[in-house]
């Protein structure tokens, strides 16, 4: 079995222009993101190992917020997830795979979690 390092930011909320229905278009809607990144780990992590031996967790949050293009309407949340994956691949060559789970908060009626999960491997 090959070693891997999994980093995660879970249940981060951010408003995104997305949707296909008239009540969704034209205004941002709240989405909840969980982003998981698989990296090849260092051989060993000592107490004084520097941050560049891993990846800053805030990069994951950035990919689902500031890195999304302003004013762009994503018809599908799948396209939002795809953009996040590509952003993380471009940011860091050590990223081997990205999983993005998105829950559409505005359409929940009884607390259910309606959304999707996309996993991409580096090509």
What is the model's pLDDT at position 26? 81
Instruction: Report how far residue 60's alpha carbon sits from residue 67's, in angstroms, rounded to the nearest whole number.
Output: 10
Total-model pTM: 0.92
> Over the chain (123 residues), what is each successive 10-residue block's mean pLDDT?
91 94 84 97 93 92 94 95 97 96 90 94 93
| Contact predicate 91/39, CB 8 Å | no
What is the model's pLDDT at position 102? 98
CATH class of 5-43+53-121: alpha beta
What is the model's pLDDT at position 2? 85
Among positive and negative, which fits the CA dihedral 112, 116, 7, 1?
positive
What is the model's pLDDT at position 89? 97
| Contact predicate 38/97, CB 8 Å | yes
What is the model's pLDDT at position 10? 97
Domain coordinates of the chain in residue numbers?
5-43+53-121
């Amino acid at each position: 079995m090959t070693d891997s390092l999994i980093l995660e930011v879970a249940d981060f909320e951010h408003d995104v222009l997305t949707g296909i229905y008239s009540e969704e278009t034209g205004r941002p809607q709240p989405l909840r993101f969980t982003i998981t990144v698989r990296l090849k780990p260092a051989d060993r992590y000592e107490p004084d190992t520097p941050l560049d031996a891993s990846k800053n967790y805030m990069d994951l949050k950035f990919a689902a917020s500031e890195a999304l293009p302003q004013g762009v309407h994503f018809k599908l949340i799948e396209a939002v997830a795809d953009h996040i994956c590509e952003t993380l691949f471009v940011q860091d060559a050590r990223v081997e795979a990205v999983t993005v789970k998105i829950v559409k908060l505005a359409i929940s009626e009884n607390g259910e979690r309606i959304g999707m999960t996309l996993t991409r491997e580096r090509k």
